[in-house]
Amino acid sequence: MRLRSAGIPCILIALLLGCIIVAGNITTPETPAYELQRPRNVQSTAVILPPFGGNYNTQLVLLGTTGGVGWWADTTRASSSSALLVGDTIYIIDLGQGSTARLAEAFVRNDFVFAKGGRIEDGSSISLQKVRAVFFTHLHQDHTADYPAFLLIGPGAGLGMHTDPVTQKTSIVPVKIFGPGSRGELEADKTNYLNRSGTIVETYDGQTSPGLRQMTSLIWQAYAQTINDMTLDNGYPDFTRLVTITEIGGSGPGDIPIPADVPDPNADTCPAMEPFPVYSDENIRVTAILVNHSQVYPSFAYRFDTPDGSIVFSGDTGIVTNGNLQRLANGADILVHEVIDEAWIDVKFGTPAEGTQMAALKTHMQNSHTKISDVGRIAEECNVSTLVLNHIVPGNTPKMRLMQAQQNFSGKLIVGEDLMRIGIRKFGRAW
Ligand SMILES: [Zn+2]
Ligand SMILES: [Zn+2]
């Protein structure tokens, strides 16, 4: 059942959600490397809110809760995307397929007037003026496929603009977009693919693994016709000025270097490192770290520290991050973590003969994601009080199977649903 079903009374929703939550206390993790930085036995302060929010200054809004390259049967989950609402400001983490529709459902509001034949919208919504920044964990399509929609449709709802409440004058205030720089090169061994006459796709300047800046520029170029029509004929602002791009690991002006020793991403994409700063303003302080998404480089987890609490997004990762995720997430209020159902991997890949390509693919799937049976232990090591499952693969895995993530985790487990809102409140902890 989806939270956005407006006709369902809040109390029923609360009862239904209550069925999928198990509360508990945090205990000291076994591994001494992940030292506790906060009092033990802190109860979770995360609360599931009604569909249109509650009296919480900081709210996590899940926009898309599945992942993968496909549309799953019997589910309406969009692909990976979340919004963090702090006060009146929206920060977005990833934009997988279907997520911009959820963004509109969650935040786009307008007034209506009554005209002959029924109500009609009173002007255009400018709700997306609240979006200040976007953070991409990595550039896989289940995290970025709606980025073009965000850039092309968002301007109709105020994206990258600010309207002065007193003068009503509107000006451009670009949305800040953060994400990976270019990998630099593809994986070294392309034999299997090339033997099948595979085509290596290149950009106009020979890039085979472009970063966020070139991806953005190429989206504008691909949609030049409509952008030029909208700006020349329809009074839209310059689309290319509505966002600014900062690459993490890029080499452009203002880019953020990755403070880790990665001489060759084909050898190691996730060396042990400390979290590093990405962004801060009056609402949030954002830090990042490399996680282990197999050959994908760079692939980030992000931590958002707010005055009300801390939220960490794992991005796509296997369980072996050399302690990186544990260091980043230590003591956070909420860990939003990806999960894959190992039973689905078994059904999909069967038991391939050793040494075959299918066997390699199955191993890759197991290593670059986190199984239901592992994610609870990871959350426990991270010393977080609430674990929220997202990037649920497959998207139609029954909740009862996902509930098994409670194994080895003593905190509160929430199985994510699209448009679920979670409020956090901090008790007596200074930022
Ligand atoms: Zn993914
Ligand atoms: Zn991925």
Pick from 250, 249, 290, 248: which is nearest to 269 by CA? 290
Rounded (10°) CA dihedral 218, 223, 229, 234: -90
Q: Which ligand is located closest to the Cα atom of residue 298?
A: 2
Token pair listed for 235: 């009074």
Q: Which ligand is located closest to the Cα atom of residue 391?
A: 1
* 379 alpha carbon – ligand 1 mean position (Å): 19
Q: Which ligand is located closest to the Cα atom of residue 67?
A: 1
* 91 alpha carbon – ligand 2 mean position (Å): 20
pLDDT value, residue 194: 86
* 79 alpha carbon – ligand 1 mean position (Å): 8
Whether 177 and 246 have beta carbons less than 8 Å apart is answered as yes
pLDDT value, residue 45: 83
pLDDT value, residue 11: 38
Rounded (10°) CA dihedral 399, 405, 411, 414: -30
pLDDT value, residue 42: 59
Which one-letter amino acid corresponds to residue 220?
W
* 138 alpha carbon – ligand 2 mean position (Å): 7
pLDDT value, residue 428: 47
Beta bridge pairs of residue 84: 60, 91
Pick from 261, 260, 244: which is nearest to 252 by CA? 244
C-alpha angle 112-114-119 in degrees, rounded to nearest 5: 65
* 231 alpha carbon – ligand 2 mean position (Å): 34
Q: Which domains does the chain have, with CATH numbers?
A: 12-109+123-424 (3.60.15.10)
Q: Which ligand is located closest to the Cα atom of residue 143?
A: 1
* 148 alpha carbon – ligand 1 mean position (Å): 17
* 173 alpha carbon – ligand 2 mean position (Å): 30
* 138 alpha carbon – ligand 1 mean position (Å): 8
pLDDT value, residue 26: 34
Residues whose CB falls within 8 Å of the CB of residue 381, separated by 6 or more in sequence, listed in order: 29, 30, 31, 34, 326
pLDDT value, residue 190: 84
Return d(Cα 273, Cα 323) in angstroms, integer.
8
Q: Mean pLDDT in each 10-residue stretch from start to end of the chain (431 residues)? A: 38 36 35 40 78 87 96 97 97 98 95 94 93 98 98 97 95 98 87 87 94 98 98 96 98 96 90 97 97 95 95 98 97 96 93 87 90 97 96 97 95 97 71 40
* 161 alpha carbon – ligand 1 mean position (Å): 30
* 413 alpha carbon – ligand 2 mean position (Å): 23
* 331 alpha carbon – ligand 1 mean position (Å): 25
* 297 alpha carbon – ligand 2 mean position (Å): 10
Q: Which ligand is located closest to the Cα atom of residue 390?
A: 1
